[in-house]
């Protein structure tokens, strides 16, 4: 196991991500972690980057005991500066020019060979730099193994102690050969085994969850989306019926969606699920609301109200049993890209964190003293899908396109009425059904039908029609931050258009949205 000590860099998680990709198990702990409190011996240690300056008062410093452990150490950015600062307070200074972005790294050859850290690589490649401070001189016993035009000490090494320092960030994809450098360190230099799999993650998480929850009970909202389903299944594996999932029917779900989610989670996956049907309350509250932000706010607020009601009922029922302790935890399917604030050394734990930094159930957490559990918080979307497969969740669910919390309400341009919800539901059902039939679903990142509530003229069976418009949207994206329209064939589009107009009452035209993001967003509102 490689131990990564986190000094609060926004990139620290990427270190563990890269190591996981290499099948090397790594654990990330705050940099304040004392060696004496660790009950296992790491094969190697990585000191991450961080936002502080080592020479500032109050800057974080690592327990010196790690340096006597006699295992290889790799310092990245702040980590490098920490290594240098230990052996001389004047070894690190503020750089005259800060260095952000690409730099050309040149690995130094000794006797015709580059250092082991750069084994198997060209001796010149592009790396990513992001630092203000730099080394003023080499710490004692070290030598330079690579330079950039701006950094005389871009990479350094202490031969006999196997301590390495990198000014560059090997964990970001902008650094060419970055993963190879981490592999050389973890596998060649530390001798770490490449036998870690997602199955191990499941086992470890289950142990962690059980330890954290004790005999307590956990509440969690599910939507049928990948993240909440995977998080719920993991909880169910860990604590069985002491996990209570709640699905809120907000009246703006897709055709048969609540039923399907209920069958899947409760009957096929054995999750203890309550469905709260609040569709009337939601649709009543949406009457007359046309502003997209107001729709979002109303739905978000109502969701918490309904959820709170359910939580109280579950708690009251739980209090009557003597099987388990109080309901004191709340499950959230937060993924790493959702984590705005880096898990700094100030945070209590990497995977399981009490509640700050959270929008949705804040009031609930505060009001009821709930603690937050976020078992997916270190994972990226593709890893969550892997985890879902590992947990036996069916392919269709694991590969499901995202669906926004405010549901179809933000896919109806203008006021939401039950009739309009029905139209968009039918059209979406036809569109997605055909996408599946044509084998396109997994090639598209997100697809849906929306309803334009203005009207256009048509002619149907010799009659003049004056009806609504359906807008189809399908995008390809990896991160949902930028996206481009999926290139359907004309044949496909003709067939969808015909089927929608023939089957969806109140609709006489079908439009295709081909705008990319930016400038458009993926959703229409
Ligand atoms: P946009 O429209 O911002 O969408 O380009 C990016 C991704 O986010 C989803 N989305 C939402 N998800 N609540 C959600 O849970 C929302 O209010 C919301 N708005 C957009 C959208 O479906 C897409 O996947």
**Where are any strands of DSSP class E within 332-462?**
371-373, 412-413, 446-460
Using a pLDDT cut of 90, give the percent of the chain over it. Answer: 77
190 counts as catalytic: no
Distance in angstroms (rounded) separating the CA atoms of residues 383 and 17? 9
Mean pLDDT of the chain: 91
pLDDT tier for residue 323 given thresholds of 50, 70 and 90:
low
Q: What angle do CA 101, 102, 108 make, to 5 degrees?
A: 130
Question: Three-state DSSP class for 35?
Answer: helix
ipTM of model: 0.99
Residue closest by Cα to atom 12 of ligand 1: 404
31 counts as catalytic: no
* DSSP secondary structure letter of residue 206: H
pLDDT tier for residue 482 given thresholds of 50, 70 and 90:
confident
397-415 burial: b if 16+ Cβ within 10 Å, else e: bbebbebbbbbbbbbbbbe
Residue 363 pLDDT > 80: no
Distance in angstroms (rounded) separating the CA atoms of residues 386 and 379? 10
Residue closest by Cα to atom 14 of ligand 1: 404
pLDDT tier for residue 304 given thresholds of 50, 70 and 90:
confident
> What are the structure tokens assigned to 41, written together?
């011996």
Cis omega (within 30 of 0) on the bond before 518?
yes
Is pTM beyond 0.90? Reply is no
In 3D, which of 483, 485, 407, 398 has the Cα closest to residue 450?
Answer: 407
Distance in angstroms (rounded) separating the CA atoms of residues 357 and 340? 8
Cis omega (within 30 of 0) on the bond before 302?
no
Residue 251 CA to ligand 1 center (angstroms) comes to: 18
Catalytic residue selected from 31, 99, 131, 171 = 171
347-362 burial: b if 16+ Cβ within 10 Å, else e: beebbbbebeebebbe
Residue 167's alpha-carbon distances to 28, 108, 151, 308, in angstroms, are 20, 15, 8, 49
Phi/psi of residue 524, each to 5°? -85, -20
Position 15 scores a pLDDT of 94
pLDDT tens figures, 139-150: 999 999 999 998
Position 250 scores a pLDDT of 97
Residue 349 pLDDT > 80: no
- The answer to whether 467 touches 456, Cβ cutoff 8 Å, is yes
Residue linked to tokens 């009950």:
39
pLDDT tens figures, 47-103: 999 989 999 999 999 999 999 999 999 999 999 999 999 999 999 999 877 788 899
The pick from 226, 360, 408, 523 for probing ligand 1's pocket by mutation, whose C-beta has the most ligand atoms within 8 angstroms, reads 523
Distance in angstroms (rounded) separating the CA atoms of residues 8 and 50? 5
Residue 184 CA to ligand 1 center (angstroms) comes to: 39
Residue 362 pLDDT > 80: no
Residue 356 pLDDT > 50: no
Q: What is the mean pLDDT of residues 108-119?
A: 94
Position 316 scores a pLDDT of 87
Name every residue whose Cβ is closer than 8 Å to that of residue 476 and which is 6 or more positions away in sequence: 443, 444, 445, 483, 484, 485, 486
Name every residue whose Cβ is closer than 8 Å to that of residue 10 and which is 6 or more positions away in sequence: 342
In 3D, which of 278, 328, 333, 275 has the Cα closest to residue 303?
Answer: 278
> What are the structure tokens assigned to 372, written together?
């937050």
Q: What is the mean pLDDT of residues 292-303?
A: 92
Ligand 1 pocket residues where CB is under 6 Å? 296, 402, 404-406, 446, 480, 517, 521-523
pLDDT tier for residue 180 given thresholds of 50, 70 and 90:
very high
pLDDT tier for residue 350 given thresholds of 50, 70 and 90:
very low
Q: What is the mean pLDDT of residues 224-239?
A: 96
Residue 159 CB neighbours (<10 A): 12
Question: Three-state DSSP class for 392?
Answer: coil
Tell me the sheet residues that pair with 463.
460
In 3D, which of 240, 242, 220 has the Cα closest to residue 231?
Answer: 220
Cβ neighbourhood burial of 328 (10 Å; 0-12, 13-18, 19+): middle
Residue 261 pLDDT > 80: yes
Distance in angstroms (rounded) separating the CA atoms of residues 21 and 14? 10
Position 9 scores a pLDDT of 87
pLDDT tens figures, 125-164: 999 998 889 999 999 999 999 999 989 999 999 999 999 9
Run of H or E including 479: none
pLDDT tier for residue 264 given thresholds of 50, 70 and 90:
very high
Residue closest by Cα to atom 19 of ligand 1: 404
258 counts as catalytic: no
Position 344 scores a pLDDT of 41
Catalytic residue selected from 131, 158, 169, 468 = 169
Residue 347 pLDDT > 60: no
């Amino acid at each position: 196991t490689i131990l990564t000590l986190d000094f609060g860099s926004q990139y620290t998680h990427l270190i563990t991500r890269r190591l996981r990709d290499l099948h090397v198990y790594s654990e990330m702990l705050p940099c304040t972690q004392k060696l004496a409190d660790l009950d296992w011996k790491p094969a190697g240690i990585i000191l991450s980057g961080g936002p502080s300056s080592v020479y500032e008062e109050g800057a974080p410093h690592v327990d010196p005991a790690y340096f006597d452990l006699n295992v290889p150490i790799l310092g990245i950015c702040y980590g490098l500066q920490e290594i240098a600062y230990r052996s001389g307070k004047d070894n690190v200074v503020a750089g005259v020019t800060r260095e952000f972005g690409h730099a050309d790294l040149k690995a130094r050859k000794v006797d015709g060979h580059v250092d082991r850290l750069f084994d198997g690589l060209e001796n010149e490649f592009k790396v990513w730099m992001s630092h203000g401070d730099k080394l003023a001189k080499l710490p004692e016993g070290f030598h330079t193994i690579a330079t950039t035009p701006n950094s005389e000490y871009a990479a350094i090494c202490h031969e006999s102690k196997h301590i390495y320092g990198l000014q560059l960030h090997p964990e970001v994809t902008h650094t060419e050969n970055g993963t190879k450098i981490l592999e050389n360190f973890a596998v060649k230099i530390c001798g770490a085994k490449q036998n870690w799999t997602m199955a191990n993650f499941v086992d470890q998480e289950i142990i962690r969850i059980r330890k954290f929850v004790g005999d307590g009970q956990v509440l969690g909202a599910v939507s049928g989306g990948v993240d909440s389903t995977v998080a719920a299944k993991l909880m169910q594996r860990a604590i069985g019926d002491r996990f209570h999932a709640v699905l809120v029917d907000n009246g703006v779900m897709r055709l048969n969606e609540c039923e399907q989610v209920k069958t899947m989670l409760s009957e096929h996956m054995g999750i203890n699920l309550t469905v709260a049907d609040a569709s009337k309350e939601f649709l009543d509250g949406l009457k007359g609301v046309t502003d997209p932000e107001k729709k979002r706010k109303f739905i978000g607020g109502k969701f918490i109200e309904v959820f709170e009601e359910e939580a109280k009922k579950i708690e009251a029922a739980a209090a009557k049993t003597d099987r388990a302790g109080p309901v004191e935890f709340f499950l959230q399917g937060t993924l790493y890209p959702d984590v705005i604030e880096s898990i700094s050394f100030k945070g209590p734990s990497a995977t399981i964190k009490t509640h700050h930094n959270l929008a949705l159930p804040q009031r609930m957490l505060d009001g009821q003293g709930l603690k937050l559990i976020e078992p997916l918080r270190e994972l990226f979307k593709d890893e969550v899908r892997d985890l879902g497969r590992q947990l036996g969740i069916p392919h269709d669910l694991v590969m499901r396109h995202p669906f926004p919390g405010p549901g179809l309400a933000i896919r109806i341009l203008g006021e939401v009425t039950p009739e309009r919800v029905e139209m968009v539901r039918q059209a979406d059902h036809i569109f997605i059904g055909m996408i599946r039939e044509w084998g396109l679903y997994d090639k598209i990142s997100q697809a849906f039908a929306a309803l334009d509530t203005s009207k256009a003229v048509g002619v149907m069976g010799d009659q003049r029609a004056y009806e609504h418009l359906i807008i189809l949207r399908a995008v390809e994206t990896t991160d949902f931050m930028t996206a481009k329209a999926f290139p359907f064939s004309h044949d496909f589009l003709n067939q969808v258009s015909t089927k929608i107009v023939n089957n969806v009452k109140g609709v006489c035209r079908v439009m295709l949205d081909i705008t990319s993001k930016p400038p458009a967003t993926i959703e229409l509102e």
